[in-house]
Amino acid sequence: MYNIFDFTLEELQNWMKENGESAFRAKQVISWIYKGVKEFDEMKNIPVALREKLKENFLISLPTIVEVYESKVDDTKKMLLSLKDNNLIECVIMKYKHGNSICVSTQVGCRMGCKFCASTLGGRIRDLSAGEILSQVMVAQNYIGERISNIVLMGSGEPLDNFENVTKFLKLVNAEYGLNIGQRHITLSTCGIVPKIKELADLDLSITLAISLHAFSDEKRKVIMPIANKYSISEILDACKYYMDKTGRRITYEYSLVSGVNDSREDAKSLATLLKSMNCHVNLIPVNEIKENTLKRPSRKTVEDFENILKSYGIEVTIRREMGTDINAACGQLRRSYLETQK
Ligand code: SAH
């Protein structure tokens, strides 16, 4: 059985042709599913025989909502979703003045092993399909009854470790017949898989690329991010230059501040020196503490000092606004704590 959300219009047109149907039926079916129709029998302009054929081959499969945690402070909603095979994933809906934004997962778990991250503790279970990434947006829109206009690929998983499905998702979510979310409203965050950054650049998309840097030197980076053993910062920055040349898009560097690890004034100065010549934006994230490790977030003062040092070097920097502090759950924590209670 196929999940119909995994199909582009062109793919469904081909399926129709291969199965002796008219290609125009594909458009009809697709417009129903994006309207939220969950049964082929509700597709009134589709002949009964074709509906039967579709039922034999396709599922209109959206994840089911297991739990929603709603913040009373700022309307942030964290959703725990269950997939067809009962794997759990999470996504977060954030309300901003400029519209609704969603943070989606790209894998069940993750195999990158970053020390501060809860998503990676149980390793990677499996990749999400393009349709499964997309259907997080569908379910969230249905739930809030409003359009979602911005997407960040910053949930569980490493997007560039699931390259085929993630790039297909980017195509699907951007399609006019689908959710029609502009590429400029999409940010993909990666821990820095160099060859895949270049491959992404060659696709010439206008999405924003965010790099999880978290340290100014390879030596320091290796302490918190195993991927640093594979790719050096200088290789990452070269790939970023390539990306900028190809796409004309400025890159965001994420820097999660961990007390006593990467938050000193010297760290800030060295980071500034490293990035000074890059046309970039730095996003500081005071680390979300998780119970599985002892990493602590720095004081507000330390974070602001760090910010000011970067600014003094002419680097554009923001401190990540914290959303849903009363339902505080860092990347991957919802799924983890839920699985623990089920044991
Ligand atoms: N795998 C991708 C995207 C998922 S994580 C990546 O590495 O970029 C999204 C961002 O949140 C990354 O910058 C990641 O390093 C950061 N992050 C993960 N857990 C965190 C935590 N507990 N506190 C602060 N930032 C965290």
Per-residue model confidence as pLDDT tens digits over 65-98? 999 999 888 889 999 999 999 999 999 999 988 8
138 lines ligand 1 (CB under 6 A): no
Average pLDDT, stretch 304-325?
Answer: 92
Residue nearest to atom 22 of ligand 1 (CA): 288
Atom of ligand 1 nearest to the CA of 114: 15
Which residue pairs, CB below 8 angstroms and at least 24 apart, start in 120-126? 120/332, 121/292, 121/332, 121/336, 122/336, 122/339, 124/157, 124/161, 125/87, 126/87
Write down the pTM of the prediction: 0.96
Answer yes or no: is pLDDT of 330 > 70.
no
Amino acid 243: pLDDT: 97
Lowest mean pLDDT: which of 76-90, 119-133, 178-192, 311-325? Answer: 311-325
Name, in order, each residue with C-beta under 8 angstroms of 276's C-beta and a sequence gap of 6 or more: 313, 314, 315
Q: Is 110 annotated to bind ligand?
A: yes
Distance of CA 16 to the CA centre of its chain: 32
Residue nearest to atom 4 of ligand 1 (CA): 154
Average pLDDT, stretch 17-26?
Answer: 98
215-252: pLDDT as tens digits:
999 999 999 999 999 999 999 999 999 999 999 999 99
280 backbone dihedrals φ, ψ, rounded to 5°: -145, 180
Query: What is the CA(154)–ligand 1 centre distance, in A?
Result: 7
Tokens for 240, please give them. Answer: 């970023």
The residue ranges of every structural domain in the chain are: 2-59, 64-342
What CA–CA distance (Å, rounded) separates 147 from 337? 29
Indicate the pLDDT class of residue 290, thresholds 50, 70 and 90.
confident
Average pLDDT, stretch 151-160?
Answer: 97
Active-site residue list: 90, 331
191 lines ligand 1 (CB under 6 A): yes
Average pLDDT, stretch 124-135?
Answer: 98
Distance of CA 135 to the CA centre of its chain: 13
Amino acid 57: pLDDT: 98
CATH hierarchy code of domain 64-342:
3.20.20.70
**CATH label, 2-59, candidates 3.60.10.10, 1.10.3720.10, 1.10.150.530, 3.90.1170.40:** 1.10.150.530
- The residue written with tokens 């196929």 in the block is 2
Amino acid 328: pLDDT: 65
Answer yes or no: is pLDDT of 30 > 70.
yes
Stated length of the chain: 343
- Judge if 2-59 and 64-342 fold alike in CATH terms: no
